[in-house]
Chain A
């Protein structure tokens, strides 16, 4: 066996010339790849076999494997290689792969990191996790079953994530009597399917991971196959990306300021190369300068290339911070707050257009929403399908609208500056992977896309974020007074507002309603609906209603998006309210002339967890108004 002699050669080299051996190791090339395909196509077995055949299983691990194979194995008396990789207790119990496992091995030609990814559809997100950092995919197909939905799904996701090289490993050939016919059929079917995918190279190999056919050594059982073994393909395929000619991009990750004399910008070069003296521009601020030095711990560099983590200093003192991208002057990335992207949805909760999510790019996190789901992609047929939401593991093409601009390249051109993840604002989980296709609303873009006028477009125009400031409290507690003051102040600041209170609602919209509980609830529901429309129009809405019940306040809160409802509890002791009594209502209530008066014969439920709680006993309305404006300023009132 050739790998045996490799092992002997290695040992001799290590024993006789360790320094030379280490030098050689340093110069070895390197490949990151994934294994994917449907359940039971033999992915874990293949990796176990690769580790075993490249002598990376130590004696103690082998002893444990023999032990485990007897206990949990599915291969009778043979070693069950899958048990080497399926490391979680749940995986071993169920005999399936749940999450991606990373494994490391080397031959005399190359070092490898392989990600073994799960085949079950429900764990597709873990498969995508593994694929996002790989340069090549080995797609396994069980020769007995041929192409399955998961084969197509995984091939599509692999292509979508930008992996350009694929080895289709037609496995378990031992179970189809090493039939060339079976192999050719699958090969033809895959070729037909992959025509619409974006691969640079596709090669096929018939093999048996279990028996070792065409893994390290050419199989004697398949003389008809004249191609290379799987290992030879993995060792020789060239996946290098071009550095020369690629545009220079360095997203600023961290500003390096040890003292007043040094100001550097640290980041990992996403594309291209850079030398001292090169002219650069920082986007989106569009300030230009020249690179003064490339600083590293080892000293300054003459040149730095893609994937290196460096610190740049510039000739001019310009204001750059995390989120900016330093780039060359010629081929510049685009700046936009609206773009189209492909999205792989990874959460049990479906993706809802209009719901705000966090969008995290390489160095910036901002709020954004899907303004439109243009279509879904059927992973079987690759056809477009209409849809309103994206469910777990579905792929869709979406238009995005962000609260701020990002600097990007199309994912196809520069993956590192064209990718993003989506994060749920409440659960903080990663819910999607996104790959930007192109920017919208861009004069230079030949695919100019019409953008519907929607909430964020309207509010952006007003340089504010829409919100409802919901004042609640007893009659005469000061709700309307404070709300009035705030509206005046906001108006003075150039903000667009509207105040809803009993006076302008009870006389028109709600004049059919009285003061019994059911009417109070309906009153609030209608006010809530009107507020919602006004928020959609981009306005800052102030409402002043007693709104005594928690449930109704919660109802309105839930009608609106996250951060669009700010509850303000005007907490004035009832004695003070009764003293004020501007409309004489307390007096009438005490005399029994008014029924269902809040605080007397109708309850007031104090808010729990109001965003703002005003203790009005010792505070003036003016102070309260200023306090509220200060609180909302950063989030809702945008500069300029």
Chain B
């Protein structure tokens, strides 16, 4: 009898987690960020319930600053798979003209992403939200449960997490409280890429290198994705062969120079690289425990 491979095990664990939520929670939602992890999560959801469709909606909390290619990809993906997609934008933030340039990355992320997410969860009364976070991404993530309890104020209490034994998950909550569930907790970045490779999962083309207009700013290569990017004195967009290791709001996501134009080339490049994937994100650098703090405040 052949043993299961590492990826088969991870796949089975994720499927088990998703089915558990579908079977026991009253109003779940799957958060979809259009990135590679979300794509894998959604692919696993299609598998978990086959021949049924995933018995929950997919939701994107749009900050209005995503790369245009991400939005185009989202629309195509939802259409191809006949999925139910909800898009939520924090209208208060839009009305206040919140932008990463005038208000800084911290305020922008808090208002458009964290507050936007809380608004959406409250609006639709979702009791469980799936997220594509992985434990290898960051130190406080490495400590988080797969079924992660949130108070009625959406707060995470890292010092007082419920014990989580075997694959028996306690998803009981009072009214107003909620759960964040992370089916990809035990996947690594390499596992994700390997799985995308072996399963042929479509990803946003921004992950692959191409000539793109960028400016260098605070040591980061920022792509000029639209004319909302205010160019500083002396800044002239240059065409460079670049790609992205993670995708988020374009002004906050640094590109890397690369010639990797195929999936195997990106994996190759990733394996030989010497920096972690979150390095490209302006949001994580604010302070040492910044992710933990943001999570306590309700960030995913």
Residues of A within 8 A of B (CB): 10-11, 14-15, 18-19, 21-22, 25-30, 58-61, 64, 68, 84-90, 92, 98-104, 111, 113, 125-126, 128-129, 132-133, 240, 243-244, 253-254, 256-258, 262, 264, 266-268, 273, 295-297, 305, 307-309, 311, 322, 346, 358, 360-362, 365, 415-416, 419-421, 423, 428-430, 433
Cβ of B19: which chain A residues have Cβ within 8 Å of it?
A: 253-254, 266-267, 309
Query: For the complex, what is the distance from the CA of A128 to the CA of B163, rounded to whole Å?
Result: 8
Q: Are B6 and A26 in contact (CB under 8 A)?
A: yes
Q: Are B143 and A99 in contact (CB under 8 A)?
A: yes
Write out, one digit per residue, whether chain B residues 42-74 have a CB within 8 A of any chain A CB (1) or not (0).
000011111111000000000000000000000
Write out, one digit per residue, whether chain B residues 261-290 have a CB within 8 A of any chain A CB (1) or not (0).
000110110011111100100000000110
Complex: chain A residue closest to B168, CB-CB? A421
**Minimum C-beta distance from B271 to chain A (A):** 5
| A-B contacts, 10 listed (Cβ < 8 Å) | A18-B267, A58-B276, A99-B161, A240-B3, A257-B52, A268-B12, A358-B172, A423-B170, A430-B163, A430-B170
Complex: chain A residue closest to B270, CB-CB? A14
Q: Are A58 and B165 in contact (CB under 8 A)?
A: no
In the complex, which residues 6-26 of chain B have their Cβ closer than 8 Å to any Cβ of chain A?
6-9, 11-12, 15-16, 19-20, 22-24
Cβ of B197: which chain A residues have Cβ within 8 Å of it?
A: 22
Write out, one digit per residue, whether chain B residues 121-134 have a CB within 8 A of any chain A CB (1) or not (0).
00000000000000
Q: Are B47 and A361 in contact (CB under 8 A)?
A: no
Q: Are A244 and B6 in contact (CB under 8 A)?
A: no
Asked if B81 CB lies within 8 Å of chain A CBs, one says no
Asked if B258 CB lies within 8 Å of chain A CBs, one says no
- Pick the most buried of B1, B20, B165: most chain A CB atoms within 10 A of its CB: B165
Q: Are B275 and A60 in contact (CB under 8 A)?
A: yes
Complex: chain B residue closest to A97, CB-CB? B143
Q: Are A311 and B4 in contact (CB under 8 A)?
A: no
Complex: chain B residue closest to A323, CB-CB? B23
Select one of B4, B53, B136, B275 contacting A59, CB under 8 A.
Answer: B275
Asked if B259 CB lies within 8 Å of chain A CBs, one says no
Select one of B16, B23, B162, B190 contacting A322, CB under 8 A.
Answer: B23
Q: Are A258 and B52 in contact (CB under 8 A)?
A: yes
- Pick the most buried of B9, B167, B174, B292: most chain A CB atoms within 10 A of its CB: B167
Q: Which 8 A-B pairs have the closest CB atoms?
A: A87-B139, A309-B15, A258-B52, A297-B47, A89-B289, A58-B276, A428-B172, A297-B50
Given contacts A253-B19, A309-B12, are A90 and B158 in contact (CB under 8 A)? yes
**Minimum C-beta distance from B275 to chain A (A):** 5
Cβ of B188: which chain A residues have Cβ within 8 Å of it?
A: 104
Select one of B49, B140, B264 contacting A256, CB under 8 A.
Answer: B49
**Minimum C-beta distance from A99 to chain B (A):** 5
**Minimum C-beta distance from B67 to chain A (A):** 23
Complex: chain A residue closest to B268, CB-CB? A18
Complex: chain A residue closest to B47, CB-CB? A297
Given contacts A256-B49, A258-B51, A258-B52, are A132 and B142 in contact (CB under 8 A)? no
**Minimum C-beta distance from A537 to chain B (A):** 31
Select one of B23, B46, B50, B167 contacting A268, CB under 8 A.
Answer: B167
Q: Are A129 and B164 in contact (CB under 8 A)?
A: yes
Q: Are B165 and A126 in contact (CB under 8 A)?
A: no
Q: Are A88 and B6 in contact (CB under 8 A)?
A: no
Select one of A28, A104, A264, A362 contacting B136, CB under 8 A.
Answer: A104
Q: Are A132 and B275 in contact (CB under 8 A)?
A: no
Q: Are A132 and B172 in contact (CB under 8 A)?
A: no
Q: Are A18 and B264 in contact (CB under 8 A)?
A: yes
Asked if B173 CB lies within 8 Å of chain A CBs, one says yes
Query: For the complex, what is the distance from the CA of A338 to the CA of B47, rounded to whole Å?
Result: 37
Select one of A102, A420, A433 contacting B135, CB under 8 A.
Answer: A102
Select one of A25, A262, A309, A428 contacting B48, CB under 8 A.
Answer: A309
**Minimum C-beta distance from A136 to chain B (A):** 16
Query: For the complex, what is the distance from the CA of A296 to the CA of B44, rounded to whole Å?
Result: 11
**Minimum C-beta distance from A102 to chain B (A):** 5
Complex: chain B residue closest to A84, CB-CB? B139
Q: Are B140 and A88 in contact (CB under 8 A)?
A: yes
Q: Are B194 and A26 in contact (CB under 8 A)?
A: yes
**Minimum C-beta distance from A45 to chain B (A):** 15
Complex: chain A residue closest to B49, CB-CB? A256
Q: Are A430 and B16 in contact (CB under 8 A)?
A: no
**Minimum C-beta distance from B143 to chain A (A):** 5
Query: For the complex, what is the distance from the CA of A429 to the CA of B49, rounded to whole Å?
Result: 29
Complex: chain B residue closest to A13, CB-CB? B271
Cβ of B174: which chain A residues have Cβ within 8 Å of it?
A: 428
Cβ of A128: which chain B residues have Cβ within 8 Å of it?
A: 163, 165
Q: Are A99 and B158 in contact (CB under 8 A)?
A: yes
